[in-house]
Every structure is written in C-alpha cells, then in structure tokens.
C-alpha cells in the first residue's frame, strides 16, 4: 500500500509540474489574440492584445503598429483570404508584471484557393496592464523547410 501511494504521489507530482497556470494560459492567449487579429483582418483585435509601443522584429525588419495596419489593409483588399494559426509553446515565464514566451508559430494561409504553410520560431515580451497581458515586443524568424523535419526539433 505504501508503495502504491508513493508511486501515485510521484505520478501526480509529475503531472502537476507540467500543468500550466492560469497566468501562463493568459500570456499565451495574448499571443494567439495578436494572430487572431491578423486572421480576422481586425486591427482593433490586434491592438487589444498589444501595448501602445508594440514592435515586431521580423526577419531583420522593424515593424511598428503602422506597419501592421498597412499589412491588415492589404489583407482586407483580398477577397479570398483565410488563415489558421497553430502554436507550440516552448517556454512561458512570468516575473511579476512581465512575461517571456517562446514558441513555434505555424500557419495555414489560403489565398484564392491556394494553400501556403508558413513556419516561424518566435519569442515575445509581454507586460500586464491591469488584468490583461499585452504583447510589447515580438521577434520572429522563418523556420527553413530543411529544419522542419529534423528529429531534434521540439
């Protein structure tokens, strides 16, 4: 019986150690919210999930909110556009009112019936404003196709 309780306790402890906290889920939801805004072509939704000084570092180029607005305007002009995002979070760390997250961002983008599959490795810095987590800085780099099938990729 003692052995059973010990093993059960170890299993429970290991399961709980991988459980996400509500705060970690909220941080991850803010990330998803930014990309949902891109999917919906809705700048207001993007702004609800970002700080006033939101910046994106994308493949060596600095994007501001003005850049994002212009990108969304381009997407709105497309009559046939659909985007689904899938995230694989690698790390979500919270320290007070700041958070750091790293993740793979995979998207299926359909334009005029043609599917494209995009893959990025991203990291983000978030701050808590009131009760809400908001993305302040997002760094994104494209994952080359030759890396996608490597066995050591998480």
More confident: 145 or 77:
77
More confident: 144 or 133:
133
pLDDT at 9 over 60: no
Which pLDDT score is estimated for 20?
87
What domains are defined for the chain?
Answer: 21-148 (3.10.450.50)
Average pLDDT of span 112-118: 94
The predicted-structure confidence for 22-80, as pLDDT tens digits, reads as follows 999 999 999 999 999 999 999 999 999 999 999 999 999 999 999 999 999 999 998 89
- Structure tokens that stand for 153 in this block: 């990729």
Q: In this predicted structure, which of 1-10, 17-26, 83-92, 101-110 has the lowest mean pLDDT?
A: 1-10
CA distances from 52 to 37, 134, 137 (A): 16, 9, 11
What stretch of H or E contains 35?
helix 22-40
pLDDT at 10 over 50: no
Which pLDDT score is estimated for 5?
47
Nearest to 97 by CA among 18, 16, 17, 30: 30
């Amino acid at each position: 019986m003692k052995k059973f309780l010990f093993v059960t306790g170890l299993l429970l402890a290991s399961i709980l150690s991988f459980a996400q906290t509500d705060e970690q889920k909220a941080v991850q939801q803010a990330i998803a919210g930014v990309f949902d805004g891109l999917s919906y072509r809705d700048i207001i939704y993007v702004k609800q999930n970002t700080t006033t000084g939101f910046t994106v570092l994308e493949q060596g180029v600095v994007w501001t909110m003005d850049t994002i607005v212009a990108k969304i305007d381009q997407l709105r002009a497309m009559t046939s556009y659909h985007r689904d995002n899938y995230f694989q979070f690698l790390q979500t760390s919270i320290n007070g009112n700041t958070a750091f997250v790293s993740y793979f961002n995979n998207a299926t983008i359909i334009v005029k019936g043609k599917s494209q599959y995009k893959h990025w490795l991203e990291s983000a810095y978030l701050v808590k404003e009131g009760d809400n987590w908001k993305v302040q800085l997002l760094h994104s780099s494209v994952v080359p196709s030759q890396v996608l099938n490597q066995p050591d990729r998480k």
